[in-house]
Copies of this chain bind each other. A is one copy, B any other.
Amino acid sequence: MALQTLSLNRSYDGMQGVYRHDSRETQTAMTFSVYVPPYREGAKLAVVWYLSGLTCTHANVTEKGEFRSACAEHGLIFVAPDTSPRGEGVPGDPANSYDFGLGAGFYVDATEAPFVRNYRMWGYVTEELPKLVAEHFPVDTTRQSIMGHSMGGHGALTAALRHPGRYRAASAFAPIVAPSRVPWGVKALGGYLGNDKAGWRKHDATALIEDGARFREFLVDYGDADQFLAEQLRPELLQTVCEKAHIPLTLRRQNGYDHSYYFISTFMGDHLRWHAQRLKA
């Protein structure tokens, strides 16, 4: 599969790249970023997948995430996909709001018109892009982990629960843990997957756990000054099902932090060290 390099900048002695390719899943050009830390010729490196939140592209975490220092230190490749298909002919939210359509793919494969054609972010992020990245970068595919923020935290948790053999670690910043039960999720899952809520359960981390999915452990940070905490994120719902299912969950309430990249970047190094320990084990 062909890959176009949009930019390449040396950073922390590795290379931060931004790439574009024509996606089979979304039927659009897709842009993503990859940081490759300094490494010995011929080595294969562990890879951390980062899924972004509503309104983001690959650029937000690439510019503001402060992940390269820790990736260089621990020898981790860091991949940041976009959050939806984009381009001419891709339908957005008719109401033009920020929480559905463009920038809000919610990491599902849509079944509903008019989204069914392009909104294939589940297949894109869990199948197509991993193959492309493995082809073009020095990735050890047996050592992958996943993390994300908000909507991307939802994506990371559901990807881990449905592919527990592929990802060795999963963590999240301020994730949406129960999309079936919060406004952002109800709008997105209804819009992309239709009104039959049975189909939503495999895209809801708490429902997946209730239905028997398991993962070895989770690390989740959230800020207690996060404006979306009580209505959209509801980390206590994840805590309840993890306790019941005996899934170890390290859930940390961070005092005074909000939903922004100022929060994410503060704890990014910590998460990557945690991932690195599990990717090397």
Give A contacts to B, CB under 8 Å. 9-13, 16, 63-64, 66, 68-69, 223, 225, 256-258, 260-263, 265-266, 269
Contact = CB atoms under 8 A, between A and B. Distances in A.
Number of copies: 2
Contacts of A69: 66, 69, 269
Contacts of A262: 9-11, 16
B256 A10 contact: yes
A66 B63 contact: no
Contacts of A263: 9-11
Q: Is the interface of A mostly helix, strand, loop or mixed?
A: mixed
A12 B64 contact: no
A265 B261 CA distance: 16
Top-10 shortest CB links A-B = A9-B262, A11-B262, A10-B256, A10-B257, A12-B266, A66-B66, A63-B64, A11-B266, A9-B260, A16-B262
A258 B225 contact: no
Contact of A11 (B12, B13, B265): B265
B265 A68 contact: yes
A225 B7 CA distance: 14
Nearest to A259: B9
> Which residue, A12, A16, A223, A261, has most C-beta atoms of chain B within 10 A?
A12
Nearest to A9: B262
A258 B11 CA distance: 9
Contacts of A12: 266
